[in-house]
Structure 1
Amino acid sequence: MSAPLIGYFLSCEEYGVDELLEQAVLAEEAGFEALWISDHYHPWNDEQGESAFVWSMIGALSRVTRLPVTTAVTCPTVRIHPAVIAQAAATSHVLLEGRFRLGIGTGEALNEHILGDAWPPEKVRLEMLEEAVEVMRELWKGEAVQHHGTHYTVENARIYTRRDDPPPVYVSAFGPRAAEVACRIGDGLITMSPEGEVVDAFRRDGAGKPLAAGFKVAWADSEDEGAGHAHRLWPNAGLPGELAQVLPSPQHFAQASTLVTEESIRESTVCGPDVDRHVAAFRPYLEAGFDEVYVANMGPHYKAMIQAYGDKVLPALKS
């Protein structure tokens, strides 16, 4: 197995802006090779307590790190028009000197319904995503764009601040229909699982495009402490099915998450300081041939986590 690129996942929902910038600097110093950053209007629950505007954060990141940055993920369809996302992505690509990638997905009602728009069914959301990518790629050519589509209208729009090479578009997919769209329009796939029908479909039909995945750990002095942080902050990770796409507020997520036990979090998440367990968490992604794997920390001990990864986990993965 060849080692994939190992990156660090910045969680805008849990950490404040100064903490996010500190994590980016520490991650680069520790040997992480790239960054993911989440794009949310709300946190998943009030306990997480943060939600910085991702485009401001990317501008700040461009001044403190040389690592590539990918949004994981932006929804370019409802809350913000794809013509505006196209400009934001083009500027980010300039700021990062070509090291920016736009990760996109169909989004969640949690973030996208805030202006009173109806939350469309999955089929319509995928149609909107595909048309949004068409609009953005036309704008990234640098010419004036006129577009009158099913979901979007663009008139006399031109992006001036841009690079000749447009940012790659990685598509997040969580079902067979989404996987089909990702194969067709994406430059790569973003997923949170090392296996399943989405990964199988992209590997079969994705024409060798990169596979990228992310997961979370909870570094702490003990497994019990780590499991407590993970259950307190991220119980929503244990919600099944489409709940993550349809629940409309952090309060609804908090209510649904009462069904998720700390024991189930402990079983599915690496908690505590056992380096061997942290190394082993990457093994399914390596065995599945992923090109990029990103890891996020849950809880207050991100400095210790990043240092331990730099000292022990990353060298073990690269050996």
Structure 2
Amino acid sequence: MTQYGYFLSSEEHTPAELVEQARMAEQAGFTALWISDHYHPWNGEQGQSPFVWSVIGALSQAVSLPVETAVTCPIIRTHPAVLAQAAATSAVQLGGRFRLGIGSGEALNEHILGDPWPEASVRLEMMEEAVRVMRLLFTGEQVSHHGKHYTVENARLYTVPDEPVPIDVSAFGPLAAEVAGRIGDGFITMAPDTTSIERFRRSGGGTKPVMAGLKVCWGTDEEEAVRTAHRLWANEQLPGELPQILPTPSHFEQASELVTADRVRENVTCGPDPDAHVAAVKGYVDAGFDTVYINQIGKDQQGFFDFYRTKVLPQLD
């Protein structure tokens, strides 16, 4: 049976707001949490980007739901040995209810230290080595690793959970889906694409869990909801590899000028019609996802949670 989680948007909200949304999500009947891991928001209108590991520590004390990053890039901005410590500590704080979602990243977040931004095939190669490093460290044993991209000397994690942290891998293209199947404990994507799931399963994913994220904009006025989604998340409609290579929020703002409100209306569920929201979620259920994480665009979070608690989630049981 498909589970329904809530997707916390670090790009839009302060740490305190994210923790309060997690509480509301649990009260509304959502059963898990995703939280984005960014250094920058996608654009200035979104306006936030707190350090995800601090927020996860607060979530561990505020709710009883499992938490997962969606997603963390382990290849450039933060060394995989440091991420392994952050993930292991989060898993301990959450009593084993933590999963590390990873991906090959975006220049928006990863170029900030002046490192080169590699092409996609190199980023996937780096991610695969990073996963090997993190899994070695999750054992709690002393680790030395001298690889093509990373060096670790005499490193040991002393604070580790009873079981190694599961690592789920995000993918948006065929090669990435194959890598996810080979190295991941689960699969993350943002579209109800059965082809990607099948590629993941054929490449070694088997019966491992597959998870997806879905953005909506609930509101009593559909046109106002469309305007809100267009103002805050027009970047989601940018095609191809642009989201991976544009380096700053201002570049995303410039590119997003090409995204019309009509395009957002066509691709994002907006407004107060419960049947439209149910249909959007069921598209992912029918595609075979084990968990769907839903995010409300904009400030009216309480209205969204009341709406989903009373009008949407009961139809998804």
Residue equivalent to 1:12: 10
201-210 or 79-88, which deviates more: 201-210
d(CA) in 2 for partners of 1:254 and 1:271? 21
Q: State the TM-score, normalized to the length of structure 2.
A: 0.98
d(CA) in 1 for partners of 2:261 and 2:14? 25
Residue equivalent to 2:20: 22
Equivalent residues in 2 for 1:214-293, closer than 5 Å: 214-293=213-292
Post-superposition offset of 1:197: 3.6
In 2, are the aligned partners of 1:8 and 1:35 still within 8 Å (CA)?
yes
In 2, are the aligned partners of 1:14 and 1:43 still within 8 Å (CA)?
yes
In 2, are the aligned partners of 1:101 and 1:167 still within 8 Å (CA)?
yes
In 2, are the aligned partners of 1:223 and 1:273 still within 8 Å (CA)?
yes
Structure with more contact order per residue of length (Cα contacts < 8 Å, sep ≥ 6) = 1
One-letter code of the match for 1:239? L
Match of 1:96 among 94, 97, 101: 94
In 1, are the aligned partners of 2:96 and 2:162 still within 8 Å (CA)?
no
> Is 1:77 aligned with 2:75?
yes
d(CA) in 2 for partners of 1:198 and 1:116? 33
In 2, are the aligned partners of 1:175 and 1:197 still within 8 Å (CA)?
no
One-letter code of the match for 1:182? A
d(CA) in 2 for partners of 1:141 and 1:283? 39
Match of 1:117 among 115, 118, 127: 115
In 1, are the aligned partners of 2:194 and 2:288 still within 8 Å (CA)?
no
Post-superposition offset of 1:301: 1.0
Post-superposition offset of 1:200: 2.6
70-79 or 277-286, which deviates more: 277-286
Post-superposition offset of 1:196: 5.2
In 1, are the aligned partners of 2:226 and 2:270 still within 8 Å (CA)?
yes
Equivalent residues in 2 for 1:37-52, closer than 5 Å: 37-52=35-50
Residue equivalent to 2:149: 151
Number of residue-to-residue matches in the alignment: 316
Identity of aligned residues (%): 63
In 1, are the aligned partners of 2:237 and 2:259 still within 8 Å (CA)?
yes
One-letter code of the match for 1:64? A
One-letter code of the match for 1:223? E
Gaps of 5+ in 1: none
d(CA) in 2 for partners of 1:285 and 1:277? 13
State the secondary structure of the residue aligned to 1:282. Answer: helix
State the secondary structure of the residue aligned to 1:55. Answer: helix
One-letter code of the match for 1:281? A
d(CA) in 1 for partners of 2:233 and 2:194? 23
One-letter code of the match for 1:33? T
One-letter code of the match for 1:214? G
In 2, are the aligned partners of 1:141 and 1:164 still within 8 Å (CA)?
no
State the secondary structure of the residue aligned to 1:214. Answer: strand
State the secondary structure of the residue aligned to 2:213. Answer: strand
In 2, are the aligned partners of 1:110 and 1:249 still within 8 Å (CA)?
yes
Residue equivalent to 1:207: 206
State the secondary structure of the residue aligned to 2:294. Answer: strand
Residue equivalent to 2:177: 179
Post-superposition offset of 1:99: 0.2
